[in-house]
């Protein structure tokens, strides 16, 4: 998935997500500098970077909170700026901040989301039950969201993001605030879904522990991609004894000019 | 590029489902917030029971349309208080839209594939639906306080409420998107709600204001809220006020366009105000 410049993605089988040379600045501060990355369909890609690396800004651009002024972002081949309707239909997002209504039931939250994708009541209920089964929470459908644990609420958000059957799933620090057990369960659910449903997953985190040696990895630091490729190769490439030290190595290269 | 896999056409029924879903969520949420309902109800009732009762002796209202007889001050002030309910609710809805734009709730809305203008108008109308519940609850209680418009008036006032509510919601959304200081409610009270409410025909007829200050009279006439109140006043008595109708409709279209432009984070003014505030950049 590490892509070389000029590599063409075939139209017949486009990547779930293609980011090409995207830069973004807030005022004078460059937050993203020529970022490129690629999430093939069905792949689990970890976007690893310390806080402030630009992960959330990249997500804001992919989700069209802001328009990307330079470069190109494509979801399943659809340019998010030029064809937002087609692109956003293929996108499911789990935001960093909690975004379920605590006062409403799990089912009400999900049917609301179904409506946002144009599904009527009956269809919305059917889809909601299907995705709740996927994350193992069918029996909580009628409960208010505020009665769920943090991990369960996250699973509902994952179910919600997959309700309209997207090709790309974005998760922004999805395990923040979860205990170790629920963290593991959330990660393994998402990994499983990527495989079974052929959803491309971009998993943003600042925690090295969440990277599996076999994962595809993109290291983002200070708005630039520092590494892109299999996690194992990063460790081997810098002759580090663990992923943690390898990560420290690539992110600390430019410390002196801080 | 149009023949991409899995693209689903969003037809009219999909738009209706989306609109319905957004409005229904607002209503559901509101029904769960009992304190908010209570506050929204107590506010105009205090004005009606206390302020209007006291004011009755000070201010006589002559026979002016749409009233056909002398009316008590309470009767005169009721459409103004209905306007106040709409105004407060519009401000609350729009403030929360601005406040939540970087957090999950609004972003969940904005990643919907429907056009943003459609989503924002749906959201504003969801706020209006909530305001309608408040207004009718208020009018019901007022009915037992001998504010008894004709029964048909409760129906004819509905379109006036929707139009006025949408105008105020759009105006509020525009202002709170552009002016950062309006992000807290105290600022809104002082600089928006109070001036709009007092410099209008909500509390006193315009001819009275003209007698005391021609300048204030002109200000009141420029105030969109005045025209909303007059539209509601006539509609509550099953009458159409043509000038206010045209003015409110015009303002609604204008404020909506301005609000959608200003609020849309990818295009408008709000995006230029700086980086996301929640957590890592």
Residue burial B151-187, b: 16+ Cβ < 10 Å; e: rest = eebbebbeebbbbbbbbbbbbbbbbbbbbeebeeeee
ipTM here: 0.87
Distance CA B2, CA B7 (A): 8
How are beta strands A224-230 and A216-221 bridged, if at all? antiparallel
- At B157, the pLDDT band (50, 70, 90 cuts) reads very high
Indicate the DSSP class of residue B65.
T
A108 touches chain B (CB under 8 A): yes
Residue B248 has pLDDT above 50, yes or no: yes
> In chain B, what residues touch A83 (CB-CB under 8 Å)?
1
- Looking at the domain assignment, is residue B5 inside a domain? no
> In chain B, what residues touch A117 (CB-CB under 8 Å)?
14, 18, 112-113
Residue B204 pLDDT: 87
Residue A236 pLDDT: 83
B133: CB partners within 8 A, 6+ apart: B27, B30, B37
- Looking at the domain assignment, is residue B73 inside a domain? yes
- At A67, the pLDDT band (50, 70, 90 cuts) reads confident
| Strand ordering across the sheet containing A168-172 | A91-94, A168-172, A200-205, A44-48, A216-221, A224-230
Number of domains comprising chain B: 1
Q: Span B125-135, mean pLDDT?
A: 96
- Looking at the domain assignment, is residue B256 inside a domain? yes
A245: CB partners within 8 A, 6+ apart: none
Residue B72 pLDDT: 85
- Looking at the domain assignment, is residue B99 inside a domain? yes
Residue B278 has pLDDT above 90, yes or no: no
A239: CB partners within 8 A, 6+ apart: none
Indicate the DSSP class of residue B272.
G
- Looking at the domain assignment, is residue B32 inside a domain? yes
Q: Are A171 and A207 in contact (CB under 8 A)?
A: no
Contact B278 A96 (CB under 8 A): yes
Distance CA B256, CA B117 (A): 9
A18 touches chain B (CB under 8 A): no
Mutate to test the interface with A, among B108, B126, B277 (most CBs of A within 10 A): B108
Q: Which two tokens stand for residue A70?
A: 């330079």
- Looking at the domain assignment, is residue B215 inside a domain? yes
Distance from CA of B281 to the nearest CA of A (A): 5
Distances (CA, A) of A128 to A92, A109, A119, A159, A194: 14, 9, 11, 8, 19
- Looking at the domain assignment, is residue B190 inside a domain? yes
Greatest mean pLDDT range, A26-40, B35-49, B246-260, B263-277: B246-260
- Looking at the domain assignment, is residue B159 inside a domain? yes
> In chain B, what residues touch A96 (CB-CB under 8 Å)?
104, 278-279
Task: Determine the structural domain holding residue B61 and report its residue range.
Answer: 16-270
Q: What is the pLDDT of residues A154-200, one digit of tens each?
A: 999 999 999 999 999 999 999 988 888 889 999 999 999 888 989 99
Q: Which two tokens stand for residue B238?
A: 């099953």
Distance CA A217, CA B83 (A): 56
B150-155: list long-range contacts, CB under 8 Å, 24+ apart.
B150/B237, B150/B238, B152/B238, B153/B235, B153/B236, B153/B237, B153/B238, B154/B236
Q: Which residue has the higher pLDDT, A81 or B158?
A: B158
Residue B181 pLDDT: 67
Q: Are B266 and B111 in contact (CB under 8 A)?
A: no
Distance CA A199, CA B11 (A): 25
């Amino acid at each position: 998935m590490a892509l070389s410049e000029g590599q063409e993605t075939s139209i017949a089988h486009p990547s779930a997500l293609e980011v090409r040379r995207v830069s973004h600045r807030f005022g004078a501060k460059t937050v993203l500098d020529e970022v490129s990355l690629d999430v093939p369909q069905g792949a689990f890609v970890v976007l690893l970077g310390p806080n402030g690396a630009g992960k959330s800004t990249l997500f804001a651009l992919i989700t069209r909170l802001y328009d990307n002024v330079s470069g190109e972002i494509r979801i399943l081949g659809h340019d998010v700026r030029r064809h937002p309707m087609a692109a956003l239909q293929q996108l499911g997002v789990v935001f960093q901040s909690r975004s379920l209504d605590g006062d409403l039931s799990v089912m009400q939250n999900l049917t609301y989301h179904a409506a946002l994708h144009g599904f009527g009541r009956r269809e919305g209920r059917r889809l909601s039950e299907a995705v709740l089964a996927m994350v193992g929470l069918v029996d909580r459908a009628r409960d208010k969201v505020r009665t769920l644990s943090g991990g369960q609420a996250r699973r509902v958000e994952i179910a919600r993001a997959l309700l309209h059957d997207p090709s790309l799933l974005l998760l922004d620090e999805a395990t923040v605030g979860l205990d170790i057990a629920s963290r593991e369960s959330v990660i393994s659910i998402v990994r499983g879904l990527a495989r079974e449903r052929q959803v491309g997953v971009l998993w943003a985190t600042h925690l090295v522990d969440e990277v599996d040696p076999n994962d595809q990895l993109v290291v983002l630091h200070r708005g630039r991609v520092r590494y892109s490729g299999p996690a194992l190769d990063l460790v081997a490439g810098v002759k580090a004894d663990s992923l943690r030290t390898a990560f420290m190595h690539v992110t600390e290269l430019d410390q002196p000019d801080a | 590029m149009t023949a991409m896999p899995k693209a689903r056409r969003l037809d009219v029924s999909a738009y209706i489902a989306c609109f319905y879903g957004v409005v229904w969520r607002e209503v559901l949420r509101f029904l769960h917030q009992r304190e908010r309902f209570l506050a929204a109800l107590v506010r105009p009732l205090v004005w009606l029971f206390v302020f209007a009762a006291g004011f009755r002796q000070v201010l006589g209202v002559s026979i002016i349309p749409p009233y056909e007889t002398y009316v008590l001050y309470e009767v005169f002030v009721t459409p103004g208080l209905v306007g106040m309910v709409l105004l407060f609710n519009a401000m609350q809805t729009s403030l929360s839209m601005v406040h939540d734009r970087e957090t999950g709730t609004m972003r969940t809305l904005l990643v919907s594939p429907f056009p943003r203008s459609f989503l924002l108008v749906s959201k504003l109308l969801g706020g209006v639906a909530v305001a309608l519940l408040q207004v009718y609850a208020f009018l019901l209680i007022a009915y037992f306080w001998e504010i008894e418009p004709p029964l048909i008036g409760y129906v004819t006032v509905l379109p006036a409420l929707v139009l006025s509510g949408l105008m105020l919601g759009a105006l509020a959304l525009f202002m709170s998107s552009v002016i950062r200081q309006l992000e807290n409610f105290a600022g809104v009270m002082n600089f928006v709600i109070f001036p709009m409410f007092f410099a209008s025909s909500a509390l006193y007829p315009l001819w009275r204001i003209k007698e005391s200050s021609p300048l204030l009279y002109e200000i009141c006439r420029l105030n969109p809220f005045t025209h909303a109140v007059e539209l509601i006043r006539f509609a509550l008595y099953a009458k159409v006020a043509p000038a206010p109708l045209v003015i409110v409709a015009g303002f609604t279209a204008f404020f909506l366009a301005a609000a959608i432009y200003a609020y849309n984070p990818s295009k408008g003014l709000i995006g230029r105000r700086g980086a996301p505030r929640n957590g890592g950049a």
